[in-house]
Chains A and B, each alone.
Chain A
Amino acid sequence: MSPWLINENGEKHFAGGTADWALAAAAAQRCNGFVPDDEDEQVSDEPRSCYNCRYRRWQPDGILCLK
């Protein structure tokens, strides 16, 4: 199953919400577009995580992928 859902605006919305650390790490491992954000904006202890990526945008219920 893809960790990404396409929302009504055609955006990639993370299926794991705000705290699925394992899924966010697994998704980032498979992603060629991952770039770490500033360390001060990172929230996952796993460095390579979609939650830590420069190209994620936080939403009230999770993150969007901007890549």
Chain B
Amino acid sequence: MKCLVAIDDTDNLESVGTGELASLLSESVSARGWGQAGHVTRHQMLVHPDIPYTSHNSAMCFPAEMERDCMEAFVAYAMDFLRQESASGSDPGLCVVAIERLAEPAALITFGREAKRKVLQKSDAYELARRLDVHLSEHGGTGQGVIGALAAVGLRMTGNDGRFKGHVKIEAADRIATPAEIKHQSHVRVVQSADGQVLAESDRIRLGNKVKAVLLDGRSTLLVCRTDTNVNDTVRWETCSKQFLRSY
């Protein structure tokens, strides 16, 4: 059974971030024999004075493939994990959704999109979670993180929101690689320009210091921009900057 797991608001200014806890939780899926987890994505919610986020109001989500009885064990573990690992003063929330059993995926997607543009309440999140019969729980503080956790699942379901956690690690001579090499060495499935032009497998790309992928059309996508300076006129692309990727 394919499911999506999201957590939010587990940190404070001094603690490890929510992304790190999401990675540990995803690793527990295979380590404990429950199934296989995919890569973590970061989803940006609305920044607004009425929202009590720590510093940036983002939530983390990852997919996992588990049998139904394993899913129950995983949820129990995840709840306990958040209780133990979340930072003092945080307001953690957990959401776990079995995608195949979800009757109204559009409602969850709408909730995710709304969390990017308006202030939502905990009651909105719980009401939707009850209606859709998805797991939503809070584990300390005000429990405000349930809003971001539910929204992050909705946004991941769109297939078009968020950046993948961590760097795409690629070994390449002189930091030049082709899409074929990048895809062979990493979870990246598509290499395309920011305006949607998919690169040829043999195109040469200059890799930045820290290469990051984004979620587009449900796939891990490496975005590239045209270079200003060519190397022997054969390198016409370079990976997009962090500053460019901030809107994903």
Chain A residues packing against B (C-beta within 8 Å): 19, 21, 37-45, 54-60, 66
Q: Chain B contact residues: over half helix, strand or loop, or mixed? A: loop
The interface residues of chain B lying within 8 Å CB-to-CB of A57 are: 54-56
CB distance from B44 to the nearest CB of A (A): 9
Whether the pair A40, B13 counts as a contact (CB closer than 8 A) is no
Given contacts A54-B13, A55-B13, A59-B49, contact A40 B163 (CB under 8 A): yes
Cβ-defined contact, B242 with A45, below 8 A: yes
Q: Which B residues are closer than 8 A to A by beta carbons?
A: 13, 16-17, 19-20, 42, 47-49, 54-58, 163, 165-167, 210, 241-243, 246
A21 near B243 with CB under 8 A, answer: yes
CA distance A28 to B86 in the complex (A): 29
| Interchain Cβ contacts under 8 Å between A and B, 19 examples | A21-B243, A37-B17, A37-B55, A38-B19, A40-B165, A41-B17, A41-B42, A42-B242, A43-B242, A44-B242, A44-B243, A45-B241, A45-B242, A55-B13, A58-B56, A58-B57, A59-B49, A60-B49, A66-B55
Chain B residue contacts of A44, Cβ below 8 A: 242-243
A45 to chain B, nearest CB (A): 5
Q: Flag if A66 contacts B13 (CB, 8 Å).
A: yes
**Chain A: interface secondary structure?**
loop
A44 CB, min distance to chain B CBs, angstroms: 6
Q: Report the bound CA distance from A38 to B55 in whole Å.
A: 11
Nearest-neighbour CB distance to chain A for B17, whole angstroms, equals: 4
CB-CB under 8 A from B42, the residues of chain A are: 40-41
Q: Is the CB of A58 within 8 A of B55?
A: yes
**Chain A residue nearest to B167 in the complex (CB):** A39
Question: What is the CB-to-nearest-CB distance from B24 to chain A, in angstroms, rounded to a whole number?
Answer: 14
Within the assembled complex, what's the spacing in Å between the Cα atoms of A59 and B57? Answer: 10
Q: B17 contacts A43, CB within 8 Å? A: no
Q: Which residues of A contact B242 (CB under 8 A)?
A: 42-45
Name the CB-closest residue of A to B14: A54
Q: How far is the CB of A43 from chain B (nearest CB, A)?
A: 4
Instruction: Name the contact of B17 in the complex, choosing from A19, A40, A56, A59 (C-beta under 8 A).
Output: A40
Residue from the list B20, B48, B243 in contact with A43, Cβ < 8 A:
B243
Give B224 Cβ to nearest chain A Cβ, in Å.
Answer: 15
State which of A39, A41, A45 has its C-beta within 8 Å of the C-beta of B58.
A41
Q: Among the interface residues A56, A57, A60, which one has the most CB atoms of the partner chain B within 10 A? A: A57
Instruction: Kindly list chain A residues whose C-beta atoms are within 8 Å of the C-beta of B58.
Output: 41
Partner of B210, one of A19, A21, A39: A39
B13 touches A41 (CB 8 A): no
Q: Which residue of B lies closest to A38 (CB)?
A: B17
